[in-house]
Structure 1
Amino acid sequence: MSEIMSMDLFTRENPVFECYAFYSSILIIKMIAMSLLTAFQRMRKKVFISPEDKSMSKGSEVKYDDPDVERVRRAHLNDVENIPIFLISGLLFVASKPSEMLAMNLFRLFTIVRILHTVVYAIFVVPQPARAIMFLTGVVINVIMIICIILKMHQF
């Protein structure tokens, strides 16, 4: 920990930042992949949101409520609502000079549960409470990081 005190926090020499950057990159790629998964579902089901998109596939229709497309879109929306919070709180967490083991495990676990959330929600639909457990685990991780940031950055 004393080594981190003398070095820049946001460099590869800080293993906590390196871990944060790695898992954040995975999560960003995952969010991009969700857009592609939505497009794949639209093509597979031949349902599009805009009339001009009908020309992309013969026999397609404009439809706003296809259950398979909407399931993937909701999973993507859930990522959009949760991953940016992790990206911001994780970066602030790195700045708070947390325990290396705690930080790395929180970053890993958050990434795993976000991927599993998508798997149980949009790819292989698993009954509740699987999705809720994945979602709540991610929320708890963000809250833990935020509490640690507040405690470390503001001396009471």
Structure 2
Amino acid sequence: MAQIIDSEVFLAFSTYATIVILKMMFMSFLTAYFRFTRKAFANDEDVRTAKTPEEKKKMLRVNEDVERVRRCHLNDLENIIPFVIIGLLYTLTGPELSSAVLHFRLFVGSRFVHTVAYVLALPQPSRGLSWLVGMVVTLCMAYQVLTVTLRL
């Protein structure tokens, strides 16, 4: 186990997994930023500063910009968590460093492009293609894990 943790593939995976996890965590701050700048809150206790019931009602609303960031964050949760789990298993199969780094970089790049395309509402197929690249990378790593483990 110590040999695997000291391997260059594991170190590369740790770096890229940390990058996408931090990116996913950043989406919470981006959501908060949009909530405050758009004055669109979801909970009654979030609008205690409102002076009148009318002002409170105006602030308790759904805002498309906030919802767009929230959907992007949800998409991160749906894709980054499987990448981290499968990527960890993939590192245990002993892949070539160049192949592993290619997988990791493609995934990380696809998630950043996906976020930019989602938040800025870029025209399709930019968001769809970036999502697809990340999904294909994760599926390729999963295939490698299953190929290696089913031969045992």
TM-score, normalising length: structure 2: 0.91
Shift of 1:36: 0.3
| Identical pairs, percent | 38
Distance 1:56 1:37 in 2: 21
Question: Structure 1 pair 56/91, CA: closer, same or farther in 2 (3 Å)?
Answer: farther
Q: 2:59 maps to what in 1? A: 61
Output the aligned Cα RMSD: 1.7
Residue 23 (structure 1) aligned with residue 20 (structure 2): no
Q: 1:85 maps to what in 2? A: 82
Q: Write the deviation string for residues 38-57 of structure 1: whole angstroms up to 9, x where unpaired.
A: 00000000010001101357
For these two proteins, the number of residue pairs brought into alignment is: 147
Distance 1:56 1:35 in 2: 22
Match of 1:98 among 91, 95, 99: 95
Q: Write the deviation string for residues 115-152 of structure 1: whole angstroms up to 9, x where unpaired.
A: 11000101x22110000000011110011001111111
Question: Structure 1 pair 57/107, CA: closer, same or farther in 2 (3 Å)?
Answer: farther
Distance 1:57 1:38 in 2: 20
Question: Structure 1 pair 26/18, CA: closer, same or farther in 2 (3 Å)?
Answer: same
TM-score, normalising length: structure 1: 0.89
Distance 2:82 2:134 in 1: 10
| Residues 118-137 of structure 1: pairs in structure 2 closer than 5 A | 118-122=115-119, 124-137=120-133
> Following superposition, which runs of at least 4 residues in structure 1 exceed 2 angstroms of deviation?
55-60
Q: Write the deviation string for residues 36-86 of structure 1: whole angstroms up to 9, x where unpaired.
A: 0000000000010001101357756111x3110000000000000000000
Q: Is the 8 A contact 1:71 1:121 kept in 2?
A: yes
Q: 1:139 maps to what in 2? A: 135
Residue 10 (structure 1) aligned with residue 8 (structure 2): no
Shift of 1:8: 1.4
Distance 1:135 1:111 in 2: 11
Q: Which runs of 5+ in 2 are unaligned?
A: none
